[in-house]
């Protein structure tokens, strides 16, 4: 009779526990990260009776959770990609908005500068037109500085976000380590800590949105988490701290470091992160944002330098030589904070049109300098300095140590220090620097063109008075303050070049005729230099492109990157939905299935109860017979 009751009790207990498990599944149908649980039953060991083995009921072996390690890992990896692409897409959209469009922002402000110079070329003596031209230059600087400030604010925000994300990673890693301790202890006691396992998976899932991690399961139930580069983040009950420090190469930026097993900080690269929001923030800061800031500075440098050079070739309303229209800071060089030597590197602009819009690393290896263009990793070796690369001249001083490095930033800080250098509209050099004339006493029919300055000569004799004296109808000499040249053969319309300028004499000059070229001291309505300044809008000064073309390319490139990130995000979100469905198909609670199980379990419970009732009745009957 004891055996009869024992069988019934095991069945009743198993049915009760199965009902409780099903009820727990139903209660947690909407709990994030919950994995469906199932009672695992086995047949109890049979008892030998005579020549027979008779069953002794059932035994509850464990409560098992429905779980696919592969599906969860896949969901985790795709979540990292989605988080990264979401941040990148949002940040690129913000940067694109800061740069503006062809009709708003920097582009129309730059176009207005040239439009006002073109208007000045049509009416150089009008004060209102001059005032408008100067106001356009000021408006352009203000728009550039406003845009540069917004981009710099975005950089500051990204640096702050990198620090916040690192702290968040540490919080999650510490939670995983603590859960590891609880899970390993519970597992060692022979239990299956399903709820703790679900909780740990949920924390790792949240962690994976900040950076990509790979999980390695240990025999005792622990998991070890490794970053994309293989550096350990969590091992058993120990987590390693991720933190930010000032980048020694660029102190205004934050650098990620991870404490290793010896407690020493090890720098973490972008590739070492592998994905997640941290990867997105670093890639935007060091990629698209850095490019936008550099290209904005490049455009400002080339425009200001070209206008300053052209301004120097003209004369203002009072006949004075044109002074710079803009002030412009030079390239920036930052010494690495970890340098050991006393060496320093300085830089100066030598050719604005050769600028690439890239930063450079200058490294000294003990015997020579290696200059690496960071945009494409092209490295040039120099035995010594000074040297010129991409329009920037580098000079060195002091005694650098092997391994010392410097960050060259030719354009990124230019806009912040840029300003309009003149306040009086009359100082705009609209007139040509030189004026050619023919004395009325000339007897021939020769005429001379107005001088065309050849580029931007550094010759200090540019404005020296020059006389072209015809010694015959086919020869001439050139008289300058330094003397008279030997006779030159003359051909009508041929170039005559002196001191960096060129003229042509046409017609039929007679022997003894002279033509003079000298400073333009009374420009009056002369607009030759204003015409040249306005023409810079269409000059292909940057690798075959105009300033507006380069600016349009920067705006277009940023918008294209944002569009590509959005497309990638859409694809990844679809993949994530599929991965989540895969996890749910294994681990999710199906209410219809649980309802069906409840009916089956109810019947099992009732049957076991009836069985116990019959056994009890038989037992009482036997007791009555004994009485």
HEC states along 230-264? CCEEEECCEECCEEEEEECCEEEEEEEEEECCCCC
Determine, yes or no, domain membership for 443: no
pLDDT in tens, 98-120: 998 877 889 999 999 999 999 99
Determine, yes or no, domain membership for 323: no
Determine, yes or no, domain membership for 303: no
User: 21 and 103: one domain?
Assistant: no
Residues 463-474: what's their mean pLDDT? 94
With bands split at pLDDT 50, 70 and 90, how would you rate the model's confidence at 617?
A: confident
Q: Which one-letter DSSP state was computed for residue 441?
A: T
Determine, yes or no, domain membership for 508: no
What pLDDT does 10 receive? 86
pLDDT of residue 424 exceeding 90, the answer is yes
Question: How far from 74 is each of 69, 169, 265, 393, CA to CA, in Å?
Answer: 9, 20, 30, 51
**More reliable by pLDDT, 51 or 450:** 450
pLDDT of residue 612 exceeding 90, the answer is no
Q: Which one-letter DSSP state was computed for residue 136?
A: H
Element (H, E) at 205: helix 194-208
What pLDDT does 309 receive? 92
pLDDT in tens, 382-408: 999 999 999 999 999 999 999 999 999
pLDDT of residue 50 exceeding 70, the answer is no
Residues 276-304: what's their mean pLDDT? 95
Smallest Cα–Cα separation from 446: which of 516, 510, 507, 515? Answer: 507
Angle at 19 between CA 16 and CA 23, to 5 degrees: 140
Determine, yes or no, domain membership for 447: no
* Structural domain ending residue among the three candidates 362, 387, 410: 410
With bands split at pLDDT 50, 70 and 90, how would you rate the model's confidence at 188?
A: confident
Determine, yes or no, domain membership for 190: yes
* Domain residue limits at 94: 71-292+546-580
pTM of the model: 0.86
User: 159 and 246: one domain?
Assistant: yes
Other beta carbons less than 10 A from residue 253's beta carbon = 18
pLDDT of residue 627 exceeding 60, the answer is no
User: 26 and 79: one domain?
Assistant: no
User: 136 and 53: one domain?
Assistant: no
pLDDT of residue 261 exceeding 90, the answer is no
pLDDT of residue 409 exceeding 90, the answer is yes
Determine, yes or no, domain membership for 180: yes
What does the alpha-carbon distance between residue 485 and residue 483 come to, in Å, rounded to a whole number?
7
User: 557 and 573: one domain?
Assistant: yes
User: 137 and 229: one domain?
Assistant: yes
User: 31 and 93: one domain?
Assistant: no
What pLDDT does 112 receive? 95
**More reliable by pLDDT, 49 or 453:** 453
Residues 511-521: what's their mean pLDDT? 93
User: 560 and 614: one domain?
Assistant: no
* Structural domain ending residue among the three candidates 386, 410, 434: 410
Other beta carbons less than 10 A from residue 271's beta carbon = 9
**More reliable by pLDDT, 3 or 78:** 78
Phi then psi for residue 259, to 5 deg, are -70, 130
What does the alpha-carbon distance between residue 562 and residue 117 come to, in Å, rounded to a whole number?
35
pLDDT of residue 353 exceeding 70, the answer is yes
Determine, yes or no, domain membership for 300: no
Mean pLDDT (the chain, rounded): 91
* Structural domain ending residue among the three candidates 379, 394, 410: 410
Element (H, E) at 347: strand 344-349
Phi then psi for residue 471, to 5 deg, are -85, -15
Phi then psi for residue 112, to 5 deg, are -65, -35
User: 141 and 77: one domain?
Assistant: yes
DSSP output for 381-413: EESSS-EEETTEEEEEES-PPTT-EEEEESSTT
Residues 13-32: what's their mean pLDDT? 89
User: 359 and 246: one domain?
Assistant: no
What pLDDT does 9 receive? 86
pLDDT in tens, 538-593: 999 888 899 999 999 999 999 999 999 999 999 999 999 999 999 998 988 889 88
pLDDT in tens, 191-245: 789 999 999 999 999 999 999 999 999 888 899 999 987 889 999 999 999 999 9
What pLDDT does 626 receive? 60
User: 239 and 105: one domain?
Assistant: yes
User: 56 and 114: one domain?
Assistant: no
Structural domains counted in the chain = 3
Smallest Cα–Cα separation from 534: which of 119, 218, 215? Answer: 119
């Amino acid at each position: 009779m004891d055996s009869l009751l024992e069988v019934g009790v095991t069945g009743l207990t198993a049915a009760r526990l199965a009902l409780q498990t099903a009820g727990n599944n139903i209660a947690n149908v909407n709990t994030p990260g919950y994995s469906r649980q199932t009672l695992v039953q086995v047949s109890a060991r049979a008892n030998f009776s005579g020549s027979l083995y008779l069953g002794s009921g059932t035994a509850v072996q464990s409560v098992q959770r429905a779980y696919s390690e592969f599906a969860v890992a896949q969901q985790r990896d795709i979540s990292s990609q989605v988080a990264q692409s979401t941040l990148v897409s949002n940040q690129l959209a913000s940067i694109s908005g800061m740069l503006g469009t062809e009709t708003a922002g920097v582009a129309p402000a730059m176009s207005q500068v040239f439009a006002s110079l073109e208007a000045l070329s049509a009416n150089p003596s009008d004060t209102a037109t001059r005032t408008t031209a100067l106001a356009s230059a000021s408006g352009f600087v203000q728009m550039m500085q406003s845009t540069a400030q917004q981009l710099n604010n975005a950089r500051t925000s990204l640096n702050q976000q990198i620090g916040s994300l690192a702290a968040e990673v540490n919080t999650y890693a510490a939670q995983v380590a603590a859960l590891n301790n609880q899970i390993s202890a519970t597992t060692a006691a022979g239990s299956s800590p399903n709820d703790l396992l679900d909780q740990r998976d949920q924390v790792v899932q949240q962690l994976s949105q900040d950076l990509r991690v790979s999980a390695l399961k240990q025999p005792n139930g622990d998991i070890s988490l490794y970053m994309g580069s293989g550096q350990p983040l969590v091992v058993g009950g120990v987590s390693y701290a991720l933190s930010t420090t000032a980048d020694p190469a660029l102190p205004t930026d934050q650098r990620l470091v991870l404490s290793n097993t010896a407690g020493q900080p090890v720098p973490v690269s972008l590739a070492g992160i592998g994905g997640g929001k941290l990867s997105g923030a670093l890639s935007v800061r060091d990629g698209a944002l850095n490019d936008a800031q550099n290209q904005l500075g490049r455009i400002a440098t080339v425009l200001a330098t070209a206008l300053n050079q052209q301004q120097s070739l003209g004369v203002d309303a009072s006949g004075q030589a044109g002074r710079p229209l803009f002030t412009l800071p030079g390239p920036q060089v930052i010494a690495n904070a970890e340098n050991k030597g006393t060496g320093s590197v300085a830089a100066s602009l030598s050719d604005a049109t050769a600028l690439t819009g890239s930063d450079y690393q200058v490294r000294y290896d003990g015997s020579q300098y290696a200059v690496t263009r960071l945009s494409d990793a092209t490295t040039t070796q120099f035995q010594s300095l000074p040297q010129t690369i991409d329009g920037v001249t580098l000079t060195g001083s002091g005694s650098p140590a092997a391994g010392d490095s410097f960050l060259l930033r030719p354009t990124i800080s230019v806009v912040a220090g840029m300003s309009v250098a003149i306040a009086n509209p009359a100082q705009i050099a609209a007139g040509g620097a030189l004026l050619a004339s023919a004395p009325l006493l000339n007897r021939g029919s020769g005429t001379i063109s107005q001088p065309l300055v050849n580029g931007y000569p550094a010759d200090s004799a540019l404005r020296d008075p020059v006389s072209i004296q015809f010694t015959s109808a086919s020869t001439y000499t050139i008289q300058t303050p330094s003397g008279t040249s030997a006779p030159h053969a003359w051909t009508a319309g041929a170039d005559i070049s002196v001191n960096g300028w060129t003229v042509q004499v046409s017609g039929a000059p007679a022997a003894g005729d002279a033509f003079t070229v000298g400073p333009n001291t009374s420009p009056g309505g002369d607009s030759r230099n204003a015409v040249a300044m306005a023409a810079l809008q269409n000059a292909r000064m940057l690798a075959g492109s105009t300033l507006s073309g380069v600016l349009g390319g920067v705006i277009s490139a940023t918008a294209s990157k944002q569009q590509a990130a959005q497309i990638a995000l859409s694809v990844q979100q679809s993949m994530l939905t599929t991965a989540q469905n895969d996890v749910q198909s294994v681990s999710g609670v199906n209410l219809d299935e649980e309802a069906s199980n409840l009916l089956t379990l109810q019947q099992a419970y009732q049957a076991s109860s009836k069985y116990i009732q019959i056994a009890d009745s038989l037992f009482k009957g036997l007791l009555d017979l004994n009485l």
